[in-house]
């Protein structure tokens, strides 16, 4: 009795038939890996591969006012005399994704946690 079923994926040519479709699946290093998975960064134990423009003004933040809940971490950004700073995520392969929802927890600075943002100190996602 056969207990395993499957097929060989060794090139895009396999799907060259006009009736064939990948249906959002992803090919990495000539292997079919399934649909694109979500990526979660929680910053609870570090920057998880993110890079920062200047660690003095951008980095992992663990003060209680900067976390979602009672513990954990977040990324804080802080202006430096009109010099913009940023954090950059690791590269994410979105090949084959039908859509890419983005969910982010954002806490605006206040007198109790950081400071109120000045004019043109806006969150930008690129």
Query: What whole-number distance in Å separates Cα of residue 19 and Cα of residue 14?
Result: 12
- Determine, yes or no, domain membership for 1: no
Task: Flag whether 78 is in a domain.
Answer: yes
Write the pLDDT tens digit of every residue in 53-82.
999 889 988 887 777 667 778 888 877 777
Q: Read off the pLDDT band of 1 (50, 70, 90).
A: very low
Task: Locate the DSSP E strands across the chain.
Answer: 25-28, 31-35, 51-52, 58-61, 74-77, 87-88
For residue 30, being part of any structural domain is answered with no
Nearest residue to 60 (alpha-carbon basis) of 82, 81, 41? 41
pTM of the predicted structure, to 2 decimals: 0.60
What phi and psi values does residue 12 have, to the nearest 5 degrees? -65, -20
Q: Is residue 27 part of a domain?
A: no
Is 46 among the domain residues? Answer: yes
Rounded distance between C-alpha atoms, residue 74 and residue 18, angstroms:
47
The answer to whether position 8 is within a domain reads no
- Say if 118 falls within a structural domain: yes
* 72 inside domain: yes
Domain that holds residue 117: 38-126
Number of domains in the chain: 1
């Amino acid at each position: 009795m056969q207990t395993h079923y499957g097929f060989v994926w060794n090139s895009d040519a396999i799907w060259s038939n006009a009736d064939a479709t990948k249906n959002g699946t992803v090919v990495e290093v000539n292997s079919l890996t399934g649909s694109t998975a979500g990526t979660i960064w929680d910053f609870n134990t570090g920057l998880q591969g993110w890079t920062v423009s200047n660690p003095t003004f951008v980095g992992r933040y663990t003060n209680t006012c900067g976390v979602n809940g009672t513990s954990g971490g977040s990324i804080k950004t802080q202006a430096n005399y009109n010099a913009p700073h940023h954090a950059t995520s690791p590269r994410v392969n979105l090949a084959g994704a039908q859509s890419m929802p983005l969910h982010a927890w954002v806490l605006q600075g206040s007198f109790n946690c950081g400071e109120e943002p000045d004019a043109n100190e806006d969150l930008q996602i690129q």
